[in-house]
Structures are given as C-alpha cells and as structure tokens.
Amino acid sequence: MSTYIVLLGPPGVGKGTQAKILAERTGLAHISSGDLFRENIKNQTELGLRAQTFINKGELVPDDITIGMIRERLSLPDCAAGAILDGFPRTPPQADALQALLAEFGGHVHRVPFITASEEVLVERLSGRWTCRAQGHVFHEKFNPPKQPGVCDLDGSELYQREDDKAETVQRRIRVYFEQTASLVSYYKEQGLLVEIDGAQPIEQVTEQLFAALK
Ligand code: ADP
Ligand code: AMP
C-alpha cells in the first residue's frame, strides 16, 4: 500500500524544507503545489498564466485548477510508492478530492504532521527566504544561509526572493491560511491522522520530531 503524508501548516513554517529532507530520506516523491505552479509560470503554460494572478495577490488558486494539476502529478510513476504532499490540500474540497484520488490510485493518507509556529516567526522566515530558480531549493539568509550569497549550494543556480514573500502579500497569505486552510486541522484530527509538530525549533530538531511522529 502506498504511503501518502500531508504536511499541514501556515506559509513559512518550514513545510518545503522538511518535505525535501523527508523525501530524500524515505525515497517518497515530494509534491509541492507551489513549486508546480511556479514551474508552470516559468514555462508560461496556460495553467501558469491562470494561476499567476491569484498567486501574486497571495490568494489561493481555484480548486478546480489546483486539483487537476495534482491529479496529473499523482498519476506519474514516481508516486507509485507514495508521496509527501506539501501545500496541498489547502481547502476542504481539496482534502475531499485528495481522498477520492488516493482511493482511485490505491492509497490513503497515512499521517498529517501539522507544523506550527507563531505569526512573528512566520514573517521573519518568509522575509528572509531565498529560493533557487532551477529547482526551488530553499535557503534563509539568517537561519539556513547558502555558502555563497545569491547562489544555490545544490545546483549553482541563482537565488531570488519570491514576489509573494514581500511584506503586504505575506500578511494576505497568512490571513488566507486562517480563513481557508486552518479548518483542515480539525478535518484530519477527526480522522485520527493529525500529529502536532513544533515548527519553531531549528530545522534538524523539527526533522527529528517529524520522523518520531511518522514511525
Ligand atoms: P513553507 O514551505 O512552509 O512555506 P519553507 O520550508 O519554505 O516554508 O521555509 C520558510 C523559510 O524559513 C525558508 O527561508 C527556510 O530556509 C526557513 N526555515 C525553514 N524551517 C526553519 C526552521 N526550523 N528554523 C529556521 N528557519 C527555517
Ligand atoms: P507555496 O509555495 O505553498 O507558498 O504556495 C504559493 C502560492 O501558490 C499560494 O500562495 C497560492 O496562491 C498557490 N497555491 C499553492 N498551493 C495551493 C493550493 N493547494 N491551493 C490553492 N492555491 C495554492
């Protein structure tokens, strides 16, 4: 049976950072809906053009577009053993759609680590985040700095600050999280899948707590 893990938590809490570590250590695929949208925007696809206006405003991309994109990604062969989902689902209809999709592919959500941190921590993390152009590797100017400023340690590509990481958009994204995504905490708690993880700790300690929770 395939293993699907959903990482839940507000923007900037460290989902992407942890998802990459988990994927590397478990061999499961890493699916980041945000990375998939940014890839589509970079390649100027129709989906990318439709998503871009929402993303730049810090709003959620409509469910039908997002669910279609994830369905396609989950059907690729590298997801056969399961996947770490990072940034999806973000609304109750997306969570229902995920359940239906996984049933179709012969799997289910195994566990939902809910990573938490105060709003102050989120803002500090997002405002210092630097993202790699080529593959979306993530650094922080203070907490996880690249060896050479502006250059990705892993693939040498340019690091940039995301348009939606500027202060006003960050506030909007955090608000949108509370309005549209936070109810998934009780959704997964009711299913007995939720495990709370203290995301305010350093990266290595969050990873340790995550692995302990996934055993
Ligand atoms: P999310 O995917 O939840 O939006 P990221 O993984 O991109 O969050 O992390 C946001 C920023 O915070 C990045 O710059 C990352 O390097 C940094 N970061 C992630 N986890 C931690 C941590 N535990 N402590 C300090 N900084 C962190
Ligand atoms: P992220 O990289 O997870 O911070 O996502 C960046 C942006 O992409 C979000 O602010 C949304 O605009 C959009 N996005 C990512 N995932 C989703 C999703 N599951 N549903 C709707 N919009 C999403």
Is residue 14 one of the residues assigned to a domain? Answer: yes
| DSSP run (H or E) holding 99 | helix 92-105
Q: Can 162 be counted among the known catalytic residues?
A: yes
Task: State whether the beta carbon of 87 lies less than 6 angstroms from ligand 2.
Answer: yes
Is residue 68 one of the residues assigned to a domain? Answer: yes
Closest C-alpha residue for ligand 1 atom 26 = 143
Is residue 98 one of the residues assigned to a domain? Answer: yes
* pTM exceeds 0.85 for this model: yes
- How far lies 152's CA from each of 132, 156, 160, 163, 173, in Å? 6, 5, 10, 18, 26
For 183, the domain range is 3-117+175-214
Is residue 139 one of the residues assigned to a domain? Answer: no
The DSSP code for 41 is H
CA of 187 to the centre of ligand 1 (A): 25
When divided into structural domains, the chain yields a total of 1
Is residue 168 one of the residues assigned to a domain? Answer: no
CATH code of residue 181:
3.40.50.300
Q: From the centroid of its chain, how far is CA 37?
A: 11
CA of 75 to the centre of ligand 1 (A): 28
Is residue 105 one of the residues assigned to a domain? Answer: yes
Per-residue pLDDT of the chain (215 residues; tens, 9 = 90+): 689 999 999 999 999 999 999 999 999 999 999 999 999 999 999 999 999 999 999 999 999 999 999 999 999 999 999 999 999 999 999 999 999 999 988 899 999 999 999 999 999 999 999 999 999 999 999 999 999 999 999 999 999 999 999 999 999 999 999 999 999 999 999 999 999 999 999 999 999 999 999 98
Is residue 81 one of the residues assigned to a domain? Answer: yes
Is residue 207 one of the residues assigned to a domain? Answer: yes
